[in-house]
Chains A and B, each alone.
Chain A
């Protein structure tokens, strides 16, 4: 018995020493430490927060947003965060609620001022009529992929700005200046994108996952369907046949493949219709050359343009 008790004491000591001799804390010191769900939000938080904030994202951008792995190391980040910024509309349902429940940080719990939900100013699209799981893993509040829309970026920035001011009113002049600078840049970029994306008006496409309502509406494109049978459900052979029929009937030649989904089926579908597969990241970091939100929108527009040209559905621009 004494031997066992001695062993137990040793084990506890080992654990305690391991923990306390771990690397020293890496919190940001005086800066406001922001943890975001997506890299896009971290980028926008830095743009609006400026040098008053340091922001990092839990996801790197390459993950499937429904399968961002829950890691205990994320708990540590959230435990130290001053603010958490998320997309909302159940975008992060697969990982963030569990992490917030374990993080022991009341400042950033839902309902607290430090919990910044970027969907508050978004007019949702694709709000489901039927909430049954017959429709797959639906988003009950509508599509949460509004980061793929210039106006979505505006809504996100507004939510971040308001959240920063609410929590740090003394820094309002700084945040306001950065926010206005962001809006000015966005206004300019929107005009550029509108011109750039003009040839895409009326372009029909299919995607692997249902995520492109905001992007398509913004630039006048038309989604004909998805490769997934339903959101979150892999395609069946019958569904692929039906999809091919639809694509041929209306002349769809462009297939969006989000990088986290496999290549095989999209490649086969594109080959069947004489079309082109285009890699379309859903978040910043989804491909190496996209590091910011502005780059994400620009990349996606140009990628579709290139694919549409290759497929012969638009002329060279």
Chain B
């Protein structure tokens, strides 16, 4: 009688194990292309262990049945077998095994392609805005982009709804040596009835196993320059890109090229990078249209980048990071194919952060900014040489930059203020002496370079980690009574894979 419950348990478990095992192996065969092989191998090992344990139990039961039969036939000279472990212990063990199989099965039924290969996410970034009529809409018109109304003028004045970006991001480990990602972006094109223009914003390959703390990146990416030039528009701490960056770089700092970075073997974070690309952003370096079979692009016509970046913890709750960057194009052909010119852009970036570890989700404070100096002899907007007050080609510099402060008020609300300033790189040519009719620098007229300033308070609400609404007001003044006001309401969501990248860190 003592054996029967065991036999029932054993038979039931054998049926269960082989039935589940077959089913699991069938699921595994189907899922083998999707989920990682390590989980599959673990499951197989667990199943194999289960089956072996069941076989051992069966042998024991059979042995005991045999011995029981011998005992029934009559007294034997053989000593009775040792006491068996109680049936309860075996049943408990079987139950634990069953629970493990159940959990393993439950795990295999979940297919997470985004965990492995590839991760896919979509950003939808939209805005509603109103721009005062002091701004002119003159997108893509040479000679007018900076002419006294030089910011955010790639959208119409007045009321505007803008699909800023629908960005599809795909990333994956390629093999043990490299990973890669791509960003396909569609945004409303104001010159084409707001139809979405789709472009490849980024698509590049990154090594993961180079020696000596090196990493190589190649393809299309945002050059390692400054801070915000490396971020997509939807990742900015505010609605719009700082006007100074738009003036000097022109949008995101995209380049097609190759970049090598090195993490120094020091106890303080110190990182160097050097790269070369065909251009930088929209306004820096040789536009590809100007490179033809006849003209070509010399090596000096490329844009060369360099950056050194460091960081230190003041204490657990306070830290500071800073960097120095340069973009240099020694001899490039300008927008109008008027000749070969040179241009350098220098950048100093900094960020101070107070982030109390225990409550950082609910309160923090950040002050950050960049200071830029643009120097060269090319008019980046109109093409041709920069001209001094006498109308002579000249190398000239222009300063610009922004700073902002942002406070996290609680988990959902953040408030900030940004100040932006820049001088036009091509200013002297754009100002005409009203008496002579000749190009003149405002230096002559007023004794000052035109100072374009923007004051921008903003407020952000995070409904969740994946949805954000932001309200911002810009007041622009260029010192020449050309003032403009602008309101934005931005709404941004993230679908799918959600990766916290090192560059995107707060």
Contact = CB atoms under 8 A, between A and B. Distances in A.
A137 B463 CA distance: 12
A86 to B, nearest CB: 15
A25 B267 CA distance: 5
Interface in A224-270: 232-234, 259-260, 262
A131 interface: yes
B357 A69 contact: yes
B307 to A, nearest CB: 9
A232 B267 contact: no
Given A67-B360, A69-B355, A12 B265 contact: no
Contacts of A11: 308, 324, 326, 346
B465 A262 contact: no
Contact of A69 (B308, B326, B360, B362): B360
Interface string A170-190: 000000000000000000000
Nearest to B362: A262
Interface residues of A, number: 61
Given A64-B361, A69-B355, A69-B360, A25 B466 contact: no
A260 B308 contact: no
A93 B498 CA distance: 9
A99 B99 contact: no
Contact of A98 (B213, B272, B362, B500): B500
Given A4-B344, A8-B326, A76 B268 contact: yes
A23 B100 contact: no
B319 A127 contact: no
Interface stretch (B15-23, B102-110, B383-391): B102-110
Given A97-B499, A123-B99, A63 B358 contact: yes
Interface string A60-89: 101110110111110110010000000000
Contacts of A15: 270, 272, 308, 310, 324
A140 B500 contact: no
B214 interface: yes
Interface string B107-119: 1001010010000
A19 B266 contact: yes
A102 interface: yes
B214 to A, nearest CB: 7
B299 to A, nearest CB: 17
Interface string B322-363: 001010100000000000001010100000000101111110
Q: Which of A14, A72, A97, A137 counts the most B-chain CB atoms under 10 A from its CB?
A: A72
Contacts of A99: 502
A145 to B, nearest CB: 16
A4 B377 CA distance: 13
B313 A101 contact: no
Contacts of A104: 210, 213-215, 263
A1 interface: yes
Interface string A5-44: 0011001101110111011111000000000000000000
Contacts, number: 158
27 contacts: A1-B342, A11-B324, A12-B308, A19-B310, A22-B267, A60-B316, A60-B357, A69-B360, A71-B319, A72-B311, A73-B269, A73-B319, A75-B263, A75-B502, A76-B267, A79-B265, A94-B500, A98-B499, A98-B504, A102-B263, A103-B263, A104-B263, A123-B100, A140-B112, A140-B115, A233-B464, A260-B359
Given A19-B266, A67-B361, A123-B100, A12 B306 contact: yes
A98 B505 CA distance: 9
Contacts of A60: 316, 357
Contacts of B316: 60
B411 to A, nearest CB: 6
A141 interface: yes
A79 B466 CA distance: 30
A35 to B, nearest CB: 14
Interface in B172-230: 176, 179, 208-210, 213-215
Nearest to A80: B265
A109 B173 CA distance: 11
A175 B114 CA distance: 36
A202 B210 CA distance: 55
Interface residues of B, number: 64
Contacts of B107: 124, 127, 141-142
A194 interface: no
Name A's interface SS. loop
Given A60-B357, A260-B358, A70 B103 contact: no
A1 B395 contact: yes
B3 interface: no
Nearest to A59: B357
A222 to B, nearest CB: 19
Interface of A: 1, 4, 7-8, 11-12, 14-16, 18-20, 22-26, 60, 62-64, 66-67, 69-73, 75-76, 79, 93-95, 97-99, 101-104, 106, 109, 111, 120, 123-124, 127, 131, 133, 136-137, 140-142, 232-234, 259-260, 262
Contact of A18 (B271, B310, B326): B310
A26 B502 contact: no
B341 to A, nearest CB: 11
A133 B466 contact: yes
B69 interface: no
Given A15-B310, A67-B360, A123 B103 contact: yes
A22 B179 CA distance: 32
A266 B431 CA distance: 64
A239 to B, nearest CB: 14
A16 B362 CA distance: 37
A53 B30 CA distance: 42
Interface in B489-506: 499-502, 504-506
Contacts of A25: 265-267
Nearest to A16: B308
Given A133-B464, A136-B464, 13 more contacts: A11-B346, A15-B308, A19-B264, A22-B270, A25-B267, A62-B358, A72-B271, A72-B311, A79-B263, A101-B179, A234-B411, A260-B358, A260-B359
A52 B311 CA distance: 31
Interface string B37-73: 0100010000000000000000000000000000000
B260 to A, nearest CB: 12
B14 to A, nearest CB: 22
B11 interface: no
A41 to B, nearest CB: 18
Contacts of A127: 103, 106-107, 110
